[in-house]
Amino acid sequence: MKSEKCVTMHIFDRDISLVEKDNFSFKGNIAENWSINGNPNGGYLMAIMVNAALQHSDKRSTPILTANYISRCIPGKADLHVEEISRSPQFNRFQSRLFQDGKEKIRFIGTFADKKNGCFIERYETKMPDIAPLEKCIQIPVIPKYSLFDNIDLRLDPVCAGWMQGSLSDKSEQKGWITFKEDRPYDIFSVLLIADSFPPPVMASQGLIEWVPTIEFSVNIRNIPETRWLKCIFRTRFITCGLLESDGEVWDEDGGLVAITRQIAQFRKKRE
């Protein structure tokens, strides 16, 4: 008699899992394993909301995903409500809302395309960013209360890692390599996490500022990668009136574009 092989669920899959209460309504739990100083990672939170929407979508390709972060989430129970906006031969569109203690915390809109929609041409007018070899990059250390880096291996290019030792750059840019510490195939959910796991680009030029809370986060996933490591670059060009943008690119090891991102956040400098 053959023994059954025990399959252990990856921690990330466990932490985005949902229980359907009734049609278009779910219960979930925001885990402590993907946080920065106790604040759940925005990409992780979006992955939970996308998971709810995809329970009702028959399309999953090249998603265009935007979340508005209304107020701070905390680890613990959450309720999600999904609404179908429209359905066509090309696209499915959904809205998700995440609640904690009866208060809406995040509102999300997602567009999901048919797998073969417009894939007859692939043209890049920019190249994959020039990033130092993996072995020459600087690993973000495991830090108490920064549980994200217990589970993610992130290595910064030395040209943008000086802020960790107090040496600042003229350019607000972060770039480097990233992967799960415990290997896991990539999918829509994990790409969202990866797309929000780098330190804010503004830290390269401004140092360890007080906080950069996200107001709005948009991700367009173009391809699901198959390589072990991903290469990312994130840039901020403008800080005005307490707001900044972060524009990002996620690439696979072979030079294939995985995702493009834009994040609008507050800029909160430490008081002297």
Distance CA 8, CA 19 (A): 19
Cβ contact 219:259 at 8 Å: yes
Please list, in sequence order, all residues whose beta carbon lies within 8 angstroms of the beta carbon of residue 191, skipping any fewer than 6 positions away.
219, 221, 224, 225, 250, 258, 259
**Average pLDDT in the 211-227 region?**
96
With cut-offs at 50, 70 and 90, classify the pLDDT of residue 4.
Answer: very low
pLDDT, one tens digit per residue, over 226-235 is 999 999 999 9
Number of domains within the chain: 1
Backbone angles phi and psi of 11, in degrees to 5: -55, -35
Residue 116 has pLDDT above 90, yes or no: no
Q: Which element (helix H / strand E) includes 50?
A: helix 42-54
DSSP 268: B
Closest by Cα among 128, 83, 81 to 100: 81
What's the pLDDT score for residue 121?
80
What's the pLDDT score for residue 160?
95
What's the pLDDT score for residue 143?
86
Cβ contact 153:139 at 8 Å: yes
pLDDT, one tens digit per residue, over 238-250 is 999 999 999 999 9
In-domain check, residue 175: yes
pLDDT, one tens digit per residue, over 159-201 is 999 999 889 999 999 999 999 999 999 999 999 999 999 999 9
pLDDT, one tens digit per residue, over 26-83 is 999 999 999 999 999 999 999 999 999 999 999 999 999 999 999 999 999 999 999 9
In-domain check, residue 6: no
What's the pLDDT score for residue 125?
93
In-domain check, residue 123: no
In-domain check, residue 226: yes
Residue 259 has pLDDT above 90, yes or no: yes
What's the pLDDT score for residue 118?
61
Q: Domain limits at 55? A: 11-115+131-266
Please list, in sequence order, all residues whose beta carbon lies within 8 angstroms of the beta carbon of residue 246, skipping any fewer than 6 positions away.
200, 201, 202, 234, 235, 236, 261, 262, 263, 265
In-domain check, residue 110: yes
Rounded to 5°, angle at Cα 185 from 179 and 186: 70
**Average pLDDT in the 87-94 region?**
94
- The neighbouring-strand residues paired with 178 are 154, 230
In-domain check, residue 122: no
The answer, as to whether pTM is greater than 0.85, is: yes
Q: In which region does residue 15 sit, left (phi positive, over 0), alpha (psi from -120 to 50) or beta (all else)? A: alpha
In-domain check, residue 1: no
In-domain check, residue 157: yes
Residue 264's identity, in one-letter code, is I
Q: In angstroms, what CA-CA distances link 14 with 6, 29, 46, 95?
A: 16, 10, 15, 23
CATH of the domain at 141: 2.40.160.210
Cβ contact 90:113 at 8 Å: yes
Distance CA 264, CA 240 (A): 12
With cut-offs at 50, 70 and 90, classify the pLDDT of residue 142.
Answer: confident
